[in-house]
Amino acid sequence: MHEMSLAEGILQLIEDASRQQSFARVSTVWLEIGQLAGVEVEAMKFCFDAVTRGSLADGAQLEIISTPGSGWCMQCAATVALSEVFGACPQCGVHQVQVTGGTEMRVKELEVA
């Protein structure tokens, strides 16, 4: 379950931000997860709750913002929406689509006290 290591990384980012910006508590974390990022949202929520126990983010709400997948088709030269990494182009059916978006995961915003 790689979500555990991702949650640990998020906590590290929060702790680093706390040291730089001098806040003591985090009440909400907004996390953008791309549709093609390979992250299971429910597993991420579970791991986030487990990792943050006893930390400055203990009890913080994790808000997930899903971002769509996109790619560029080498055959028809179109930018298309993708729901899977190795999917076919929805316009021409060719499988020569280079992923251009939706693989990212980032902390978008923190609500702090």
pLDDT, tens digit, for every residue of 11-59? 999 999 999 999 999 999 999 999 999 999 999 999 999 999 999 999 9
CATH 3.30.2320.50 fits 3-68+102-112, yes or no: yes
Task: Answer whether 69's CB lies under 8 Å from 101's CB.
Answer: yes
At 1, is the pLDDT very low, low, confident or very high (cuts 50, 70, 90)?
low
d(CA 108, CA 69): 18
Q: What is the pTM assigned to this prediction?
A: 0.87
Which residue in 33, 40, 29, 30 sits closest to 1, CA to CA? 40
30: phi then psi, degrees, rounded to nearest 5: -100, 120
- Residue by residue, DSSP assigns the chain as -THHHHHHHHHHHHHHHHHHHT---EEEEEEEEETTS---HHHHHHHHHHHHTTSTTTT-EEEEEEE-EEEEETTT--EEEESSTTPPPTTT--S-EEEEES--EEEEEEEE-
What's residue 113's pLDDT?
A: 84
Structure confidence by residue, pLDDT tens digits, 52-106: 999 999 999 999 999 999 999 999 999 999 999 998 999 999 999 999 999 999 9
